[in-house]
Structure 1
Amino acid sequence: MINFEVLNTYMDNDVDIIFAVFSTYMEDYEDGLDRINQLNAEQNWPELFLLSHSLKGILSSFGEEAAVSALGKVEEHTRDNIAPDTADIAIINKELVTINKQINDYLVNMD
């Protein structure tokens, strides 16, 4: 879940910047959940590592904690070509649904 207090601090409470960052996130990662699940199913650890690493960095700037922690664990496993823990994948799935909804709601309310 996005922590808007942290996000606003990072973005100097600038709604235009937040709107731009969220818009870019949705362009780049709206399908992130599907990609994570597909890469996991394909056991494509190098690509899952890269995606987990990227998402972890972006979501940490949003003040998100649960998905960031799980993505960090997935990143560690896949870096070593080890399958990620299914519990971490489940957390990521749950959190990304919530995050994408939060972002969509924010973008709709800003239009």
Structure 2
Amino acid sequence: MGEKSLFIIALIGAILGLFVLLVLSETADFKEITLGSIGGEKIGNDVKVFGTVASMRKSNQSIILTIVQPEELQVILFTGGKGNISFQPGDVVEVLGEIDEFNGKQQVFAQRIRVVR
């Protein structure tokens, strides 16, 4: 098998792999909940929540947002020290993430946060 054939096979495999990842990411099952009902959810469940940013703390590896709706919830986003990510108090955000618990309080480890207003 020649180099050209191997290159074409590798290229087709890469394109198919990207397509599969795109389909999987679009069909990820995030249950939309309110902050008031988060206490009824199991640790490890994937959820989608909306809220208004009340405060933001930044460290080298993460961002911790406090969002309100009117209940309050902490959202942790691990940045790995990359990017210039910033949120302002008053931003309305959509958070996709996993429920966890720390010191008896539920929080969300964000996979994605986006400003919607």
TM-score range for the pair, normalised by the shorter chain length? 0.3 to 0.5
Q: Which structure exhibits the higher relative contact order, with contacts defined as CA atoms closer than 8 Å and separated by 6 or more residues?
A: 1
Higher strand share: 2
Higher helix share: 1
TM-score normalised over the length of structure 2? 0.31
